[in-house]
Structure 1
């Protein structure tokens, strides 16, 4: 069976599971089409025509598929805890066991754990929210489906158990706002000022339009500037962090090697540095004054 045939059969298999698929550039994790979430499909004929025309890897749009996928990554430095260990620790803290569920191994040695969402529940992607080395993909996100291959290896089906319902404790943990500690933060901000909210939107727009080759620079600078507002008590850090990471989703899907854990690391470092140089805004003119 040719590479085209194998990938087509995997794409059709995913569609038969009720999962919406779309093509990725061959041998990469990058979408081969624009508006991939809206154009993802379970239609047999569309899938057949697409994969007959090229050996595309398979993107699985988690939102339309009503899935949440836990992406448990491997460690990069000795002594760190990997995603699978962190997830097991979270379960142990709550005195529960993780259910067996559909599991795919990744070329880097990580694992994708598939869960179904309760009716009416829609979750967003997260990066490091549950724990370091654990990201999630749901509404607005995608994972590389089994059968796909990268130069360093393939996405292999490890456990074909039907996806388990997302455990209630995991749903609760994903809905909790992350807590942060800081020696300079003045505490949560219930409602940011118009200036601070506008500044955050502007920095997020800068991130989304970051030119190739400057992703890390633009993201780090934006996080630093936002961190200054957090340090000045003008923005809630958890909210700002979430907005910055969501804006950086476009960097993750670009052909630059950016990963969700790296994005989270850069954002956290920029925010922490910015907090040490807090910024305030005069209430009358709205002009910026360094604290």
Structure 2
């Protein structure tokens, strides 16, 4: 998957830059598959409020450091000279990547389980990128809708089937880990992530939570959700807005928080049309009528 890059000093960086050229946001990984950069807040307590996701301007925030900008990627790898691989952030544009991780280490048969799910729910896994893991598993790359946030899960669909969604990452092909290399399955390297079948997408989303009406005052929680949107970087704006709107509707403060959330989204660079469309999607996803 890697392309020739004379400025790339390590195979991991070369592969990461190749992935970035396809629009994928990446971070450096260690041989243990964990982010290669330590948190800058590890030895000092973070200030009160939501956890820092990079707002401090320093590296070391895991998947929140992910970028498809070659200059920033070089900076990340320069700060992590021992990185032997790279992670690909899921849920970000343009692909809104969803990773279906078929893990055989649990002693289960996730391949048969996925085929059974497809048969039972009437969908077909399309031709897409497949990454072979050192343990004999597979990562299937799928593309999700831009206004839907797919959560991470482990074994919820079936034993051995893990899902990497927003806030998660996949180990990229070309990475080397303690267990061996990750490689692209023959014939799939040049494919684009295929759209996730709608029937499978429905299985990946959590069921709507029960609605418990609360007084219309947004309170401190509502202010926290607005601040969460205000802190969004480019590439996170729709995802953060959708997540915050979902939480607002689940807490019964969705209608009261629409205008504050729209205002916060406008300040991050989204248009009013985009913001209201994303909030309306969150309302529908949580069983409400915008």
User: Into which bin does the TM-score normalised by the smaller protein fall?
Assistant: 0.5 to 0.7
1:253 counterpart residue number: none
Q: 43, 66, 69: which is aligned to 1:43? A: 69
1:19 aligns with 2:46: no
Contact 2:106 2:160 in 1 (8 A): no
1:63 aligns with 2:91: yes
Q: 1:24, 1:157 → 2: CA distance?
A: 18
Task: Give the deviation of 1:75 after TM superposition.
Answer: 4.8
Contact 1:24 1:59 in 2 (8 A): yes
Residues 175 and 13 from structure 1, CA distance in 2 versus in 1: closer, same or farther, beyond 3 angstroms?
Answer: same
Q: How many residues align?
A: 180
Task: Give the deviation of 1:190 after TM superposition.
Answer: 6.9
Task: Give the deviation of 1:36 after TM superposition.
Answer: 2.2
In the superposition, the TM-score normalised over structure 1's length comes to 0.56
Contact 1:4 1:52 in 2 (8 A): no
Contact 2:134 2:179 in 1 (8 A): yes
Encode CA deviations 1:203-259: one digit per residue, 9 max, x unaligned: xxxxxxxxxxxxxxxxxxxxxxxxxxxxxxxxxxxxxxxxxxxxxxxxxxxxxxxxx
1:131 aligns with 2:158: yes
Contact 1:5 1:52 in 2 (8 A): no
1:30 counterpart residue number: 34
Q: 157, 175, 181: which is aligned to 2:205? A: 175
1:90 aligns with 2:94: no
Secondary structure in structure 2 of the residue aligned to 1:7:
helix
Q: 2:159, 2:106 → 1: CA distance?
A: 12
Secondary structure in structure 2 of the residue aligned to 1:17:
coil
Q: 61, 72, 79: which is aligned to 2:102? A: 72
Secondary structure in structure 1 of the residue aligned to 2:15:
helix
Task: Give the deviation of 1:189 after TM superposition.
Answer: 7.7
1:108 aligns with 2:135: yes
Contact 1:7 1:55 in 2 (8 A): no
1:279 counterpart residue number: none
Contact 1:71 1:137 in 2 (8 A): yes
Task: Give the deviation of 1:175 after TM superposition.
Answer: 2.3
Q: 138, 142, 149: which is aligned to 2:169? A: 142
Aligned-CA RMSD value: 2.8
Q: 1:142, 1:95 → 2: CA distance?
A: 28
Q: 1:97, 1:124 → 2: CA distance?
A: 21
Contact 1:60 1:144 in 2 (8 A): yes
Q: 2:10, 2:103 → 1: CA distance?
A: 29
Residues 62 and 94 from structure 1, CA distance in 2 versus in 1: closer, same or farther, beyond 3 angstroms?
Answer: same
| Runs of at least 5 residues in structure 2 that lack an aligned partner in the other structure | 38-59, 213-290
Q: 1:42, 1:13 → 2: CA distance?
A: 10
Secondary structure in structure 1 of the residue aligned to 2:118:
helix
Q: 1:127, 1:76 → 2: CA distance?
A: 12
| Runs of at least 5 residues in structure 1 that lack an aligned partner in the other structure | 179-187, 192-291
